[in-house]
Chains A and B, each alone.
Chain A
Amino acid sequence: MGMTMTQKILASHAGMDHVSAGQLIRAKVDLVLGNDITAPVAIIEFEKAGLEKVFDRDKIALVMDHFTPNKDIKAAEQCKTVRTFAKKHQITNFFDVGKVGVEHALLPEMGLVKPGDLIIGADSHTCTYGALGAFSTGVGSTDMAAGMATGLCWLKVPTAMRFILKGKLKEWVSGKDVILQIIGMIGVDGALYQSMEFTGEGLASLTMEDRLCMANMAIEAGAKNGAFEYDEKTEQFAKEHNCAPWTVYQADEDAEYTKTFEIDLSAIEPTVSLPHLPENAKPVSEVGEITIDQAVIGSCTNGRIEDLRVAAKIFEGRQVHDGVRCIVIPATQKIMLQAMEEGLVKTFIDAGCAVSTPTCGPCLGGHMGILAKGERAVATTNRNFVGRMGHTGSEVYLASPAVAAASAIAGKLVTPESVLGGKV
């Protein structure tokens, strides 16, 4: 029987010709990632085991992005632990405040992840790099410690679900709307233990930003990884980001899938996921009158330059609604600079938005935009669990940058068209 794209990457990294779903393997990793929340736990485990050396100082990335710039003394201590470890082991890819960006935006931008790689990260959204035709998956801190020591990771070979994309997205509709609709369709455990493989002629119309956003949220359907078929856009991205030589893996024609879905991109509307699960997806046009107190545009899901361009187009010449706080967080320093050069930052500030240095901050209720009891936020982030952005009595509505920007202007959840058409 043939293999899926994911299975092929796993087989090659395990030194095998063939793997089958359910098989337990130990595979070589190309990169081990951790952040200021998960790396400290990994470092404790690494040192407790009495390990002296990392397997390869070039193949570890330590990204101080969650509670940075340090939100409090304890957060500062955690970063210090990682900084000391990075120095001791001469970790090449240690990113601290000033150079840091949100990890899953930063690593592709730096060319540190490439097609065909096997990447593990002590962060659940590590699945983002599937957009580049890599296998990447979230693991825990102990896995990270073991990975840093051995360069290996134990994995169970997953089955896969296939999503055949057709048609083209309408204006103001993005990868975020597609993935929210898919999670709404299959549920937050719909792809549990499985790969989500994306293919079909519709791929051609999706930007790399769309794909990174969709692969990023594969975990919100319970998936082990999201994987996009390699095409010209992938190749162009890898070239532009100076990736080291890479390998292309493609699914066999007789690969087995547990389910196949056809997704008509042209039928997708601007979408929002209601509290408190990402699966509560609905077209924005059907949610009724939901006023908001805060809008957050940023994160590893939607803090890239294309996301900011879309939001700025909507903010141009308009104002954030009275009583709404809108926080824009470009995901990396490079994106921040680009947004300044293109005049996007000016547009945001003129519209009454706060613009922040890169941080995961509000997405996980860390800092930079915590909600009080009873408050509602529309956010371009990835989770709307109870208490995710602050008080357990607050609410998060997940949406695209276009919907978040339009809603910030309207003071309530609306479609981009309703703002652009001057209806609100």
Chain B
Amino acid sequence: MKATGNAIKYGDNIDTDVIIPARYLNTTDPKELAPHCMEDIDKDFSKRVQAGDVMVGGKNFGCGSSREHAPIAIKESGISCVIAATFARIFYRNAINIGLPIVECPEASEKIQAGDKISVDFDTGVITNLTRNESYQGEPFPAFIQGIISAGGLMNAIKAGKL
């Protein structure tokens, strides 16, 4: 599986309160959540984002609240993959469970600049920066987690009797 898109870049400790503020948590509808994604630190994100874009964060991406609304809002916005130096653990498992591709790669997080065209190969963890002609080795998922992702998320994996 591969994703290709332009990078939208943020810093360290992007918390789930800024990914989707709690004032919008009175809904579960992805279509209502997505227009407010990132708005507290990047007002124009929802207007700027193009289907396939890659979100790049620093360390501890997705820290804070366990709200699954955060990866749901990112996914619904059209982001094809989130790359970060490290992920907060609840965001990490939520992304896997709902089928939002993520890759941990400190080098990519540092070197990718906003607007760079990025291609990500989820099977190998290789991230290619087409703008800068560089590639970075991300951490590929272990087989168990690959299984959840290839089933299309945790509930599908359970339904298919894979877990």
Partners in one complex: yes
Decide yes or no whether B68 CB sits under 8 A from chain A.
Answer: yes
Docked complex Cα distance between A269 and B28 (Å): 42
Q: Are B66 and A122 in contact (CB under 8 A)?
A: yes
Docked complex Cα distance between A78 and B13 (Å): 29
Q: Are A386 and B17 in contact (CB under 8 A)?
A: yes
Decide yes or no whether A247 CB sits under 8 A from chain B.
Answer: no
Name the A residues within 8 Å of B60 (CB-CB): 188-189, 192, 222
Docked complex Cα distance between A283 and B148 (Å): 46
Q: Are A385 and B155 in contact (CB under 8 A)?
A: no
Q: Are A71 and B26 in contact (CB under 8 A)?
A: yes
Chain B: interface size category:
35 or more
Chain A interface residue count, Cβ-Cβ cutoff 8 angstroms: 53
In the complex, residue of chain A having the shortest beta-carbon distance to the beta carbon of B43: A392
Supposing A49-B158, A222-B89 touch, asked if A38 and B68 sit within 8 A by C-beta, the answer is: yes
Docked complex Cα distance between A37 and B22 (Å): 9
Docked complex Cα distance between A366 and B21 (Å): 10
Q: Are A44 and B28 in contact (CB under 8 A)?
A: yes
Name the B residues within 8 Å of A123 (CB-CB): 65-66
Partner of A188, one of B13, B94, B142, B156: B13
Docked complex Cα distance between A383 and B66 (Å): 13
Name the B residues within 8 Å of A364 (CB-CB): 17, 22, 25, 65
Supposing A49-B155, A143-B154 touch, asked if A366 and B22 sit within 8 A by C-beta, the answer is: yes
Name the B residues within 8 Å of A328 (CB-CB): none
Supposing A78-B28, A366-B22, A387-B17 touch, asked if A140 and B158 sit within 8 A by C-beta, the answer is: no
Q: Are B64 and A146 in contact (CB under 8 A)?
A: no
Name the A residues within 8 Å of B18 (CB-CB): 385-387
Q: Are B93 and A140 in contact (CB under 8 A)?
A: yes
Minimum CB–CB distance for A29 against chain B, Å:
14
Minimum CB–CB distance for A39 against chain B, Å:
10
Docked complex Cα distance between A143 and B93 (Å): 8
Supposing A41-B69, A188-B13, A365-B23 touch, asked if A124 and B159 sit within 8 A by C-beta, the answer is: no
Supposing A38-B67, A154-B163 touch, asked if A385 and B15 sit within 8 A by C-beta, the answer is: yes
Q: Are A145 and B155 in contact (CB under 8 A)?
A: yes
Decide yes or no whether B97 CB sits under 8 A from chain A.
Answer: yes
Name the B residues within 8 Å of A145 (CB-CB): 154-155
Decide yes or no whether B134 CB sits under 8 A from chain A.
Answer: no
Top 7 closest A-B pairs, CB basis?
A74-B26, A140-B94, A189-B60, A142-B97, A140-B68, A124-B66, A364-B22
Since A49-B155, A383-B15, A387-B17 are in contact, a sample of 4 more A-B pairs with Cβ atoms closer than 8 Å, ordered by chain A residue number, is A138-B66, A145-B155, A189-B60, A222-B60
The interface of chain A, by Cβ under 8 A from chain B, is 24, 26, 37-38, 40-41, 44-46, 48-50, 66-67, 71-72, 74-75, 78, 121-124, 126, 138-143, 145-146, 149-150, 152, 154, 188-189, 192-193, 219, 222, 224, 277, 364-366, 383, 385-388, 392
